[in-house]
Amino acid sequence: QMQLVESGGGLVQAGDSLRLSCAVVGHRNSDYAMGWFRQAPGKERAFLAAITWSGGTTSYADSVKGRFTISRDQNTLYLQMNSLKPEDTAVYYCAAKIDGITIPTIATRYPYWGQGTQVTVSS
């Protein structure tokens, strides 16, 4: 059973950078697509970025395009976040789906989820 373990959240100031990691455990192959989502208090879980199994195709939400970069290496997914803003404050989740070619932006299309990591950006 695939498990996702996130790390890298924390408290930073506006304008700072932060890199989140998501380790994949319990799945031998790399035949899965992955994505990052976030959920702020009182709001729905929102798509941020996704990447195919090969890393050759990525997709970004307009709100983070140009500031956030998704990448993967072996069994680890990353989200490099630059120029952070207070409105980026949320719990960040990584997600995975075994079909590694399509990268949907809808949370319900991903059956595997990490536990979430808090990112707080102060002004």
Burial class (CB in 10 A: 0-12, 13-18, 19+), 43: exposed
**∠ at Cα 118 (11, 72), nearest 5°?**
100
5-38 per-residue burial string, b: 16 or more CB within 10 A, e: under 16 = ebebbeebeeeeebebbbebeebeeeebbbbbbb
- Counting every residue, how long is the chain? 123
Model confidence at 55, pLDDT cuts 50, 70, 90, reads confident
Per residue in 112-121, pLDDT tens?
Answer: 999 999 999 9
Per residue in 26-52, pLDDT tens?
Answer: 888 878 999 999 999 999 999 999 999
Considering the chain, what is the average pLDDT of its residues?
95
Q: Is the pLDDT higher at 83 or at 74? A: 83
Residue 106: what residue type?
Answer: I
- Do 73 and 89 meet the contact criterion of CB atoms below 8 Å apart? no
